[in-house]
Structure 1
Amino acid sequence: MGRWEPGARERLVVAAVDLFTEQGYDATTVAQIAERAGVTKSTFFRYFPDKRELLVAGQETLSRLLAEGIAEAPAAASPLQAVAVGLERVSGAMGPLNRELAPRLKAAVAASTELRARDALKSVSLAAAMATALVARGVPESTAAIAGELGVLAFRRGFAAWSEGDRADGDELAHHTLAALDELRAASASLG
């Protein structure tokens, strides 16, 4: 396969997840990932600075989509209503490949301390993006921080339900993330 074949980024992600699942993160090299994806090592480095970054591919896009959705929420929207608009926006960017890779990716992350740490940083970054967007709407910082954290938790819970659920149900990711946000809203109200 030529190095300029379309879809190189996606093939690299799929190859990495497959290899991490088969032989573990630590035992997998960039050369193996590139070979499995049918690209050169230099093509790998055009897309990713290292193999760890493969598993957070698209993080900046997720942060941007969440922030854009929050910014575009109606002016009268509460902080969690604005987060819901952000979750809808980011959910629309997730497709069948995300759903297919999710269980293997989850296993790869669970098996590696380094990947668990990187995954935790991703959550912090997503929460910060939502909090910053909420503060820009005039939401007080502490409220924005809590809403951002609830947004990340809702996204994670919704994504897990979507990726592990029955694929024949036809539910979109947004259905699951918004349901998770509603559950979290109710749970937080019961804290008193």
Structure 2
Amino acid sequence: MPRWDPRAEDRLREAALELFLDRGYENVTVAEITERAGLTRRSFSRYFADKRDVLFAGSDRLPVALARSVREADADLMPFEALLAALVEVAGPLAGDARLAAQRRAVVRTSPELQERGRTKFAAAGEAAAEALRERGAEEPEATLLAEVGVAVFRTAFERWVEQPDAVGLGARIMETAAGLAAGLGAVDFGPAPRP
């Protein structure tokens, strides 16, 4: 048997997801994951820092990719248009297997620790997007507000995509969600706030 297995990372991820779904995230150890995958702890450590990382591996690349895409968006786009274009662009590589995304989501929903990790991941993406919007000339607090709205649009679109992966792709779900938000805001009276 070769020393290096090109599918080792996938095997570990699949084994972990099976175990997490079957027994619960908190009830699974790294040793059990490696045993199920037929690999060693050393192999696990090559790809993942800990068992949480199985679910969030690569998420540290999202803020960097999102910020880069915002910076590189067409200079004629308004700030939120640039952000939407960037969200659609980064959605491409993320929109892999919706079934696996649904399984990861199911595991994350069962654990407050994992939910907090997910919030931290999206907060980092929002901060990176806000910084890139400021570099494009957006003022504060607009840049932060737009970035937070953009992340909320992305999260909502991702949920819809996971629920109905065959209907349209993740990029289309992002634009659909943003359009729904814009339509909802179009009905709002932005005049002076009513007095109590």
Is TM more than 0.5 here? yes
Is it true that 1:82 corresponds to 2:79 in the alignment? Answer: no
- 2 CA distance for matches of 1:127 and 1:87? 11
Deviation per CA, 1:68-101, whole angstroms, max 9, x where unpaired? 211111112111101111111111102432x111
The aligned length equals 189
Question: Which residue of structure 1 aligns with residue 33 of structure 2?
Answer: 33
Q: 1:3 to 1:173 in 2, by over 3 A?
A: farther
2:146 alignment partner in structure 1: 147
Change (3 A) 1:27 1:155: same
Deviation track 1:112-154 (CA, whole Å, cap 9, x = no partner) reads 1111111111111111111111111121131111111111111
Match of 1:125 in 2: 124
User: Which of 169, 173, 177 matches 1:176?
Assistant: 173
Structural mapping, 1:7-156, within 5 Å: 7-97=7-97, 99-156=98-155
Aligned CA RMSD, in angstroms, stands at: 1.9
8 Å CA contact 1:65–1:89 kept in 2: the answer is: no
Give CA-to-partner distance per residue, 1:152-175, whole Å, 9 cap, x none.
Answer: 1111111111111152x3x22100
Q: Provide closer, same or farther for how the CA distance between residues 11 and 147 of structure 1 changes in structure 2, counting only shifts above 3 A.
A: farther
Q: Compared with structure 1, are the counterparts of its residues 120 and 2 closer, same or farther at alpha carbon in structure 2 (3 Å cutoff)?
A: farther
Contact 2:71 2:132 in 1 (8 A): yes
35-44 or 74-83: which moved more? 35-44
* Structure 2: distance between partners of 1:188 and 1:15: 44
Task: Call closer, same or farther: CA 1:74–1:112 in 2, change over 3 Å.
Answer: same
Partner-residue secondary structure (3-state), 2:104: helix
Which runs of no fewer than 5 residues in structure 2 stay unpaired? 191-196
Q: Label 1:2 to 1:114 Cα distance change in 2 as closer, same or farther (>3 A).
A: farther
